[in-house]
Structure 1
Amino acid sequence: MTSSFETTNVVWRIDRSYAATAEKIANWLRQLMDLTQKSDKEVNKHFVTNLTMMLMGKFEKWYFTVSSLEYVASQSKFFPAYRELCDHLSAWIELEKYRRANQEITEMYCNHADFATLTPEAKEWVRNFYLRQSHHWKDNPEESVPSADMQSDRAARFKSLMRQYCVSAYEYLFSDEAKQEEDDGNPTDIWENFMRDLKYFPEGPIKNALRQLQKNRTSKKPKPLTLTKKHLS
């Protein structure tokens, strides 16, 4: 069936050196036919040849695997039309990219003693941080790469949520910042919000004490805060 296949009829949209052979694609299609419903009258030499020709020029050889076959078959009760087949293969490769990125992240960043001591929840937070970072903080695979400002905002939001809901993961990833916040006694953003609202406090002993606390916090050698007659005056 494929021995007479003419690659000169292929419309190439990829580098030809990365293309799968006609035999490989045809075999992949036959397996998909076995896993889905298809009228016997529609399955013929021309059907397989034409579909193989179209796929050969559009998708690289690593698209036609057992994993992609299982994914496309799980999405299709009936053998998909060309457009549906392309959509399913495109969706599969995005999932595969995320899976491989997650695997690489685990191998690169997570195979050491400190990571092993984290809880499963904390490990998932760490993996997700590295995974989202590697994909430029996109909210989904279909989204285009966000602007630098948007990436920064999303990273900050994720970091804030991590600090709120999984302190151990936050301390693992940002140990220096976590230690500084611990020394200061309050997370920086909470402190800044609190001091921003200082102007709404009425004049009196409490506001005087808070002013002294703010002064101590910004000095090189913070002094312990105590209420004195000076504050109460």
Structure 2
Amino acid sequence: MVSRDDGATWRTSAELTGNPFAIGSTDRADNMNEVYIGQLRQEPDGRVRIVYTLAGGGPEGHLHDRYHRNVYYTWFDPRTLHFSSAGGRDLGTQVDDADQERYLKVAETPLALPGAVKSPDYVQLVGTALGRPFVLWFGGDEAGGPLHDNLSWWNGVRWQTEEVARGLRVREMEPLSPTTWRVYATEDGKPNVTTYRVVPGRTWTAEAVIPTAKPVQRVELVGHFRDPVRVLLSGASSARDVAVADGDISVAGIARR
């Protein structure tokens, strides 16, 4: 959807480009035709970094969100409505399956439910360091062990991936400098938020722990924050029913001196 009058009116990508959709497919042999965007991040120059995974029924047919598969990266220019690859290839106004498989794939993952969980997870994070993109993503373990946390970076020619941790759910990250990012992560069923640093889109080191009374389900960076309110922490609810809203809501940041 695009608005050029500050939200007063909107037009769909189909109306603007003639394409039935902007990113996706309808006829993959593995039935993975759903797109789950893990994160969009707008740069100061206006371009939007996008990381996503696929979902669908896999070998079970056309089922909604039964499996997840693979990780993909693209960037979008709102001025031209064009998508591009990490290597700079202009893909035009629509990314189809052939495009994403040939130019956008960051990592290929099995069509399976490792540890009975969808993998990769719904949440993936995207950023840049010195102009080159990197993504963080995690998924299940085939033996039912802890989650696997992966850092993938574009080396100028291709994507490289390294496992940097286990048992964490990466929730959000923020840029600290042109080379350094802070990552916020949690562990299932445990309180506290742990932070890590990624420098420069390659190395992963532990930083600090933010104490919380209960487990945290979401971490949201506050746009144009003013410390000590930097991130919003939403506590994990004890049930999936939206009527049960017993998770704490709190904020965290750097204390003023």
Q: Given the two structures, how large is their TM-score scaled by the length of structure 1?
A: 0.25
Answer 1 or 2: higher relative contact order, Cα 8 Å, separation at least 6: 1
Q: Which has the higher strand share?
A: 2
Q: Given the two structures, how large is their TM-score scaled by the length of structure 2?
A: 0.23
Q: Which has the higher helix share?
A: 1
